[in-house]
Amino acid sequence: MPIALTLCGSIRSGSVNKKLQDAVDAKLRAAGVEVNSISLKDFEMPIFNADLEPDNVPEAAGRLADLFRTHDIVFIATPEYNGGLPPLVVNTIAWLSRQKPSPFRHAVFGIGGVSSGRYGTIWAQSHLRDSLSKIGALVVPTLLGTGPDTSVFDADGAVAETGVNAKIDQMVKELTHFSRGGI
């Protein structure tokens, strides 16, 4: 059985991107995937600064890198800040990219996000896809961008839009069928 790690680039209460993470978790479980849903709140790391290396690397970076290395699937739900990635995601990727062996060369990655605008984090996802690809991650083709956030979820937090459910289904299909081919 494949094992998925899911995380969200927002740690605020009531985050719509956490709701997206939860929706993807449910669909992955329905597809027979074991899901480990985490919060970056549990992996505190200072702002990346190479002067902290090698003696003061946060232990959270090593713990999170180990999780990336031991899961077959990684899904990242990210907000978009001013057309780019939020600092939490940038900092997390920066610290993880310094870990050896690379935590990006085992899993198949999916990315998604919800925003207040119609473009549904498309710019942030483009940046995240580019960054992940440059450090060796295999990112599935589907971009799970949705918005505006006021219409994506119902009052109970369930996905309210048929088109969003179809995108999640397509991403889950890709995440469970794509493979690194044993490399």
Predicted local confidence at residue 117, as pLDDT: 84
Mention every residue, 6+ apart, whose C-beta is less than 8 A from residue 53.
Answer: 98
Residue 73: exposure state from Cβ atoms within 10 A (0-12, 13-18, ≥19): buried
Q: For the chain, list residues with pLDDT below 50.
A: none
How do residues 44-97 score in pLDDT, each as one tens digit? 999 999 999 999 999 999 999 999 999 999 999 999 999 999 999 999 999 999
pTM summary value = 0.96
In 3D space, the residue among 113, 105, 114 whose CA is nearest the CA of residue 151 turns out to be 114
pLDDT for res 183: 52
The candidate with the shortest Cα–Cα distance to 97, out of 146, 131, 46, 63, is 131
Residues in the chain: 183
Per-residue pLDDT at 182: 60
Element (H, E) at 8: strand 3-8
Nearest-Å Rg of the Cα atoms of the chain is 16
Residue that the structure tokens 């899901």 belong to: 35
